[in-house]
Chains A and B, each alone.
Chain A
């Protein structure tokens, strides 16, 4: 899809204001360049012509906001993105989670994933026979996204990329074990996520599972400005148990944030942090 509509700064602010005032979704501290681009994407995708068209649609059809939320957050376009990250997770981090844990360790997928991260994580755990030994919590901003994930219909953009990533993650595994192709539609095995608890969030992530041992938050703070990054990192830091892990995207860092002194770097190239004891 080619996006040639350009939204101005005033219109952007008007949409942000409407989403907050009329719907309670706060995008004020989302990174402006990306947010503008996503609004342009949504307006083009739904043929709304301009920001005025978008606001009129929201006014006339309040249910459209759920669609908007689903479309505003960029999809995770591939499974097993950064295969080396998933290998480290499998070989080093997950074994740590299970050590000395009387109850099931909690894993919190705190980014607004479109399903690809969740299924990647679940496949990883299944291959370790640990799917029933952990509790997984998954954030979601829209009902549509939850439906998409729980139906197994992720609308993969490029199965070849998914498969190549998976093969780099596990060269002996068989990616096709995890989906079926029904009449040209790819449906992932929903058995993989049957124990997942979805947390319906607002834009500021105000629900939390508490006492997590691992938080995946890859490539989410890139859509925040500095202020919101600080707030959310503080929240995630508070939710992690001492010694718990926080995984960011491979081009994200806690340097220059207040949360940095709560963590040590556990794996530099895969951007995995470990929560300090105190």
Chain B
């Protein structure tokens, strides 16, 4: 019933993401899009670090890469990552948004426009407001909006900004996010 999961995170989200990726079944039926704030000039190392414990392959995609279920796509350093019609990745070097490139808002908005009510959006710990507008767009277009419980976040700014901007479906601790994803059927 769903077509994709998209996750946005910034400061304090690395361990949460690692736990989520570790807990997914290897046969996870959806693609996972990851937009995480990262150092722009450090190109390598991040995918490798995330991959160590991940149950599904993590790819830092090339432009126009086909999006496939059971794989995670990490937005590359210093590019915005969009979802393009035809279920493809599109990259952009446009200006940073919310001081961020990749910007979570842009990934979320473009994913929402393609997957509409078949999209699950998750905002994790972070120190700025990026992602709040994107999560609202997912909700507006009928998708599922999940926010990590701010009380559990290392930095609560991003989750609180999201909760302020849109009535979300679930406020979950990491364990509950994992349980929710594990129960997704193709």
A binds B: yes
B173 nearest CB across to chain A (Å): 32
A175–B32 Cα distance when bound, in Å, is 41
Majority secondary structure of chain B interface residues (helix, strand, loop or mixed): loop
Could you say which residues of chain A place their CB within 8 Å of the CB of B60? 251
Is the pair A74, B92 in contact by a Cβ cutoff of 8 Å? yes
Nearest B residue to A252 via CB reads: B63
Stretch at the interface among A28-36, A60-68, A90-98: A28-36
A-chain residues with CB within 8 Å of residue B82 when the two chains form the complex: 33-34, 37
Given contacts A33-B84, A83-B41, A222-B90, whether A251 and B63 have CB atoms under 8 Å apart is: yes
CA A256 to CA B41, docked complex, whole Å: 28
- B76: Cβ under 8 A from any A Cβ: yes
A33 and B110: CB pair below 8 A? yes
Instruction: Give the B interface residue count (CB, 8 A).
Output: 25
Question: Taking the complex as formed, is B61 at the interface, i.e. its CB lies under 8 A from any CB of chain A?
Answer: yes
Q: Which residues of A contact B92 (CB under 8 A)?
A: 34, 37, 74, 222-223
Q: A60-89: contact bitstring with B at CB < 8 Å (1 yes, 0 no)?
A: 000000000000001111000111100000
Report whether B90 and A77 are in contact in the complex, using a CB–CB cutoff of 8 Å.
no
Q: Are A251 and B41 in contact (CB under 8 A)?
A: no
Whether A221 sits at the interface, judged by CB under 8 Å, is: yes
A34 to B95 alpha-carbon distance, docked (Å): 12
CB of A226 within 8 Å of the partner chain: yes
B41 CB contact (under 8 Å) in A157, A164, A222: A164
- B interface vs A, CB < 8 Å? 41, 43-44, 60-64, 76, 78-79, 82-85, 90-96, 106, 110, 113
Contacts A222-B90, A222-B92 supplied; 15 other A-B pairs, CB < 8 Å: A31-B84, A32-B84, A33-B84, A34-B92, A41-B94, A74-B93, A77-B96, A81-B93, A84-B43, A164-B41, A226-B64, A250-B76, A251-B62, A251-B63, A253-B62
**What are 20 A-B contacts defined by CB distance under 8 Å?**
A31-B84, A33-B82, A34-B82, A74-B93, A77-B94, A77-B96, A81-B78, A83-B41, A221-B63, A222-B63, A222-B64, A222-B93, A249-B63, A249-B91, A249-B93, A250-B43, A251-B79, A252-B91, A253-B63, A269-B43
Kindly list the 8 A-B residue pairs having the minimum CB-CB distance in the complex, ordered from nearest: A74-B94, A222-B63, A253-B62, A33-B82, A219-B93, A222-B91, A33-B84, A251-B76
